[in-house]
């Protein structure tokens, strides 16, 4: 008798879905496709030679310890260095407030694990990061998207949703925000809007989950204060990661929050992976100590600024009338809006034929909206591929418009 497994999975397993972006990346690994799809840092930014030296150094100085299990909370020295960086951002926190995670995606997953029951409401942007949507949905959360304007989450819409929930005798578990160079929209929340979100969190007794993977990749403009730095009541939980500012393959991140939240997070992490790889933590700490980190980050920012500018120049030159896009002050992404009648998923199939790829924007909307939007990554492709890919994409869009008449 053949084994049937479909009726054996848990409810959480039933809520899981394959990542649309991860599946698309399999297709776009073909060497002749120019991919603007993934959120991939440029390999040009990876400090390979520096890391070769530092890895040898760590093995010589901390060999046995680096290859052993570690504490769930993470390497003490790395945590001290991260806390010092956070203090420069105005975040006052101690060792009891910070834990090392296996990148920020683990932070998102374990936030869902410790806070969410099936049917709980999570407030997010519309659009919002697919990894967050997927993580929270897996635990049965009901995601409510707040529409964006050119400064991010609309405060009038946010208030209306929170008031409606209160009138129903309910409240959201937390508000999920990516305040700097938001994925996918590329928008940065101004300080006044950050403060108002925190005021609403206080008024309606909510937590705020601040996802901050791109903050240090700023090309221009004035940095806005971290929401954690503005927090006076311990409501903000901040997720950070080295994936976009150092190397993604190390899978190193961190979570900062109220000590009781961090304590529960540690318990959840112990059931997930016991600890984040100790060797990689010690390499990251040694890299920070060496002074190489800031120099390489500055080079990375310059590289991505140049790629963003090249892409925006190509859009202005080649995109047909009726297509608009965001112009981010930093980060890795911009968001394109097509004419309202155009379907980005259908356009993607044609784009693949023309050997260029992007992510259809509907996957970033909790309500599956945004069918005429696309997310574009400008950090990964080379400058030559960037230029050629924009021309191919513009050609596909013009062809779709011509067919539409």
33-78 confidence digits (pLDDT tens): 999 998 899 999 999 999 999 999 999 999 999 999 999 999 999 9
CATH assignment, 62-290: 3.40.640.10
pLDDT digits (tens, 9 = 90+) for 263-317: 999 999 999 999 999 999 999 999 999 999 999 999 999 999 999 999 999 999 9
Q: Is 167 in contact with 129 (CB distance < 8 Å)?
A: no
Mean pLDDT of 185-207: 98
Nearest CA-CA partner of 315 in 259, 392, 373: 392
Residue appearing with tokens 């044609």: 350
CB atoms within 10 A of CB 315: 19
Please tell me the pTM assigned to this model.
0.95
User: How far from 10 is each of 112, 114, 134, 213, CA to CA, in Å?
Assistant: 16, 17, 16, 31
DSSP per-residue letters across 23-82: HHHHHHTSTT-EE--S-PPPGGG--HHHHHHHHHHHHHHHHHHHTS---SS--HHHHHHH
CB atoms within 10 A of CB 345: 13
Contacts of 6 (CB under 8 A, 6+ apart): none
User: Would you place residue 21 in the very low, low, confident or very high pLDDT band (cuts 50, 70, 90)?
Assistant: low
Q: Is 129 in contact with 211 (CB distance < 8 Å)?
A: yes
Nearest CA-CA partner of 28 in 316, 328, 381: 381
Q: Hey, is 182 helix, strand or coil?
A: coil
Residue 71 structure tokens: 């504490």
Q: Hey, is 172 helix, strand or coil?
A: coil
Report DSSP state, residue 235: -
> With 70 as the cut, is the pLDDT of residue 351 above it?
yes
Report the C-alpha gap between 188 and 128 in whole angstroms.
13
Mean pLDDT of 321-333: 98
Residue 269 structure tokens: 């992490």
User: Would you place residue 24 in the very low, low, confident or very high pLDDT band (cuts 50, 70, 90)?
Assistant: low
The CATH T-level fold of domain 16-47+294-404 is 3.90.1150
Report the C-alpha gap between 145 and 99 in whole angstroms.
29
Domain spans of the chain?
16-47+294-404, 62-290
């Amino acid at each position: 008798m053949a084994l049937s497994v479909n009726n054996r999975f848990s409810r959480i397993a039933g809520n899981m879905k394959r990542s649309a972006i991860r599946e698309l990346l399999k297709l776009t690994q073909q060497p002749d496709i120019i991919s603007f799809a993934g959120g991939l840092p440029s390999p040009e930014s990876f400090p390979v030679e520096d890391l070769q030296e530092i890895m040898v150094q760590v093995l010589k100085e901390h060999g046995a310890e680096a290859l052993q299990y570690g504490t769930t909370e993470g390497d003490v020295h790395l945590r001290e260095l991260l806390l010092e960086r956070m203090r420069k951002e105005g975040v006052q926190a101690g060792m009891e407030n910070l834990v090392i995670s296996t990148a920020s995606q683990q932070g998102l997953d374990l936030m869902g694990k410790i806070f969410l029951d099936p049917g709980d409401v999570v407030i997010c942007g519309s659009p919002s990061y697919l990894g967050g949507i997927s993580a929270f949905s897996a635990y049965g959360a009901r995601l409510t998207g707040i529409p964006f304007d050119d400064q991010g989450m609309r405060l009038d819409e946010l208030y209306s949703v929170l008031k409606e929930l209160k009138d129903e005798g309910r409240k959201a578990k937390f508000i999920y925000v990516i305040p700097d160079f938001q994925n996918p929209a590329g928008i940065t929340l101004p300080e006044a809007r950050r403060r108002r979100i925190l005021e609403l969190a206080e008024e309606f007794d909510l937590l705020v989950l601040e996802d901050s993977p791109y903050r240090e990749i700023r090309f221009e403009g004035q940095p806005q204060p971290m929401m954690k730095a503005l927090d006076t009541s311990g409501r903000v939980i901040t997720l950070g990661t080295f994936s976009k500012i150092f190397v993604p393959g190390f899978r190193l991140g961190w979570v900062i929050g109220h000590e009781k939240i961090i304590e529960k997070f540690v318990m959840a992490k112990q059931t997930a992976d016991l600890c984040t790889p100790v060797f990689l933590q010690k390499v990251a700490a040694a890299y920070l100590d060496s002074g190489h980190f800031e120099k390489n980050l500055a080079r990375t920012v310059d590289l991505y600024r140049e790629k963003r500018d090249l892409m925006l120049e190509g859009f202005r030159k080649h995109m047909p009338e009726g297509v608009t896009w965001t112009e981010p002050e930093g980060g890795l992404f911009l968001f394109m809006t097509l004419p309202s009648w155009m379907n980005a998923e259908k356009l993607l199939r044609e784009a693949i034929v023309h050997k260029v790829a992007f992510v259809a924007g509907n996957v970033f909307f909790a309500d599956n909206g945004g069918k005429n939007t696309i997310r574009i990554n400008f950090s990964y492709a080379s400058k030559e591929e960037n230029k050629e890919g924009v021309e191919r994409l513009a050609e596909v869009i013009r062809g779709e418009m011509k067919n539409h008449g």
